[in-house]
Every structure is written in structure tokens, then in C-alpha cells.
């Protein structure tokens, strides 16, 4: 799922750069699986669909819908998928603009509206009274969740819940057997309070790829080094150390105001048969892609130019939300 950028949204100043990037992502997805695209108007829906088909995306793999939104970071307000006795269910958790930082009422309503429109077929979509963003958790698909204390315990999200209570709630909601909490790590310019999908990601049940940092003068260098040490202490369900893949550190990226932007290669997206990897017009792009190819040897690695996305403090994985096969 994607939410398409619009001229009156946050991407207004850079729409000419950003919209072609969304187009590239949508085509790469549609070539391999179905893609659901939330559009602001019927006219935009028609334009997007026509443009994707013209670029070679199969028409049968494209679903567009007209749904009002605040922003395009659908990873954080799209529904989470779980399997219950082998059958998919969707969890529509509360999205409050990353702890009340930004308007979120429209985004928070999207999952329910899509369910009412029948976009999820007969898959149940349950409303969950818990603030939880998709970018704040990562799953190995076999019972382990990876997350950060800085995000989940940030007071603007679930102030009435302790770490112990959140641990219990997430295990119950998501079918997890255990949570691995990172106490350290963070990127300058990241306004999510440390989403895990910018820091460290499961590649399989025994492998974690993480964003390394070798820039000693970087303001978060100590935190990133501490995070790497924490990852060394984590073990798999079998009690073995994880195979850790240190992704290279891109050169500094700044916005027009001179503020540092949060570039991360950990923000990759796994789709059917491929892994889409962010590229930042950086010397480290190819090394990051090559390392992730070793993590996903059976999948094609496709580099996607994501430098314009950093202007709004996110990247490739943040823009997307996946569903189980057969839902759309």
C-alpha cells in the first residue's frame, strides 16, 4: 500500500522530484505483486493508474482508491497484519502523528475507511486502542519483535502503559513470544523518536542488518555505537548470537536550512521476489545493496533513488505497508 503525494500536501515544494520516485516504487511493486494506492481525488486516481500502466505495470495488479490523508507515511498508519490459525487479520492501531507532533486525524481514519470500502475483501480489520506505528516494530515472522524504548515509551504515545504492560500487550496482539528492546540508537533529523526501521531489521530469524556509523563527530555516534553493542548481546530463540550485517554509513545529507537528514540503508523493503533498497546518490549505495544481496540471496536487489524522501525525514520502507498474499 502507498498513499500518493499531492500538490497541497507536505511534498508541495518538491513534488516534481518526489512523484516520479513514488511512480518508480509503485511500478517495481506492481511488477511482482498487487499494489493498493490511496489517492486524494478521482482525477489523481485515474492519472496514477494510467501512468503506471503506461510504464509497464500490469493493470490487474493496480488498485486505486480515493481516501483523504494528512501525509504519505503509510507504514505508520496502515493496518498491521497477523495470522490467526493461518487466516489473516488486520489490526487498525491508533496513529496520533508520532506522539502528537503532527496532524493525524485523516491518516488515523484511513484503515477503517478502506475496510468499509471493501478493499481488504473479507479479511477482518479490528480497531485497536493502542498507539502503535508500523515503523516502530520489526518482526522475524517467527515470534520475535525488535523495537526501541525511545519510541514505544515516549510519553506522547501510550502514557498510561509501562514497559511491562506494553510488552504484554504487544505479545498478545501480535502473537509474539518475545520482544527485543534497543535502549540506544537514533538518527539526527528523525522525528519518530527512533523508529526501528531506520536502525535495525530482521533479514531472517538469525540475521539482523543494522545501520552502522563510523562518523566520530556525528551527534548520535555514541548512541549508534552503543546500539551496535546491544545487538551483539541479543540472541536468537535458540540462544545463538545473531549474524549481524553492518550497513555502511552514507555521507552527510542536509536540507535547504542546513539541518542534517536521517539517511539509512536499513529502510529497505522486502516484496515478492525482490528487495527494494534505498540509494542516496552516495558512494556507499552499491556496498549497501551488495550486503543486502548476501542477506537475501534468492531475491533480486533493486536500488531506488530515495534522496528526495529525506527532506521529510523518511525513506522507502516508511512509505509502504505490506499485506498477506491474496488480500487485495
Looking up cell 480497531, which residue turns up?
A: 127
Secondary structure element (H or E) that encloses residue 166, with its range = helix 163-174
Residues with Cβ < 8 Å from 189, sequence gap 6 or more?
259, 260, 261, 262, 310, 313
Where exactly are the structural domains of the chain?
2-319
**Confidence category of residue 326, pLDDT binned at 50, 70, 90:** confident
Model pLDDT for residues 100-128, shown as the tens digit of each residue: 999 999 999 999 999 999 999 999 999 99
pTM of the model: 0.97
Positive or negative: CA dihedral 152, 143, 202, 120: negative
**Which triple of cell numbers denotes residue 115?**
475496510
Cβ proximity of 68 and 40 under 8 Å? yes
Residues with Cβ < 8 Å from 257, sequence gap 6 or more?
none
Classify strands 300-305 and 178-182 as parallel, antiparallel or unpaired.
Answer: unpaired
**Confidence category of residue 178, pLDDT binned at 50, 70, 90:** very high
Within 10 angstroms of residue 192's Cβ, the number of other Cβ atoms is 27
Rounded Cα distance between 48 and 54, Å, is 10
Model pLDDT for residues 144-159, shown as the tens digit of each residue: 999 999 999 999 999 9
The whole-number average pLDDT for the span 180-204 is 98
Within 10 angstroms of residue 206's Cβ, the number of other Cβ atoms is 16
Secondary structure element (H or E) that encloses residue 65, with its range = strand 62-66
Secondary structure element (H or E) that encloses residue 212, with its range = none
**Confidence category of residue 325, pLDDT binned at 50, 70, 90:** confident
Per DSSP, the three-state class of 24 is helix
Q: Which CATH number fits domain 2-319: 3.75.10.10, 2.30.110.10, 3.40.50.300, 3.40.50.2000?
A: 3.75.10.10
Identify the pLDDT of residue 250: 98
Looking up cell 525511545, which residue turns up?
A: 150
Identify the pLDDT of residue 162: 96
Model pLDDT for residues 293-313, shown as the tens digit of each residue: 999 999 999 999 999 999 999
Taking 90 as the threshold, does the pLDDT of residue 328 lie above it? Answer: no
Identify the pLDDT of residue 84: 92
Taking 90 as the threshold, does the pLDDT of residue 138 lie above it? Answer: yes
Identify the pLDDT of residue 226: 98
Amino acid at each position: 500500500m502507498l498513499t500518493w503525494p499531492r500538490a497541497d500536501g507536505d511534498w508541495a515544494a518538491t513534488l516534481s522530484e518526489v512523484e516520479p520516485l513514488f511512480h518508480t516504487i509503485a511500478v517495481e511493486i506492481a511488477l511482482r505483486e498487487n499494489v493498493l494506492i490511496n489517492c486524494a481525488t478521482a482525477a489523481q486516481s485515474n492519472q496514477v493508474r494510467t501512468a503506471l500502466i503506461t510504464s509497464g505495470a500490469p493493470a490487474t495488479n493496480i488498485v486505486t482508491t480515493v481516501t483523504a490523508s494528512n501525509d504519505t507515511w503509510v507504514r505508520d498508519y496502515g493496518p498491521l497484519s497477523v495470522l490467526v490459525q493461518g487466516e489473516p487479520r488486520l489490526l487498525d492501531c491508533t496513529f496520533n502523528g508520532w506522539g502528537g507532533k503532527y496532524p493525524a486525524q485523516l491518516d488515523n481514519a484511513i484503515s477503517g475507511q478502506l475496510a468499509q470500502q471493501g478493499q481488504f475483501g473479507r479479511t477482518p480489520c479490528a480497531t485497536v486502542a493502542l498507539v502503535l506505528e508500523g515503523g516502530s516494530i520489526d518482526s522475524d515472522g517467527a515470534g520475535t519483535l525488535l523495537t526501541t524504548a525511545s519510541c514505544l515509551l515516549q510519553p506522547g504515545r501510550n502514557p498510561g502503559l509501562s514497559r511491562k504492560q506494553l510488552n504484554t500487550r504487544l505479545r498478545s496482539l501480535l502473537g509474539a513470544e518475545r520482544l527485543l528492546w534497543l535502549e540506544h540508537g537514533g538518527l539526527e533529523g528523525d522525528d519518530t523518536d527512533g523508529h526501528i526501521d531506520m536502525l535495525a531489521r530482521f533479514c531472517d530469524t538469525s540475521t539482523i542488518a543494522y545501520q552502522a556509523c563510523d562518523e566520530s563527530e556525528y551527534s548520535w555516534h555514541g548512541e549508534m555505537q552503543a546500539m551496535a553493542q546491544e545487538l551483539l548481546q541479543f540472541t536468537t530463540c535458540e540462544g545463538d548470537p545473531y549474524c549481524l550485517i553492518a550497513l555502511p554509513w552514507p555521507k552527510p545529507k542536509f536540507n535547504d536550512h542546513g539541518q542534517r537528514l536521517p539517511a539509512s540503508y536499513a529502510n529497505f523493503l522486502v516484496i515478492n521476489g525482490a528487495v527494494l533498497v534505498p540509494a542516496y546518490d552516495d558512494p556507499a549505495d552499491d556496498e549497501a545493496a551488495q550486503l543486502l544481496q548476501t542477506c537475501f540471496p534468492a531475491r533480486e536487489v533493486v536500488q531506488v533513488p530515495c534522496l528526495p524522501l529525506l527532506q521529510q525525514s523518511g525513506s522507502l520502507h516508511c512509505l509502504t505497508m505490506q499485506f498477506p498474499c491474496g488480500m487485495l
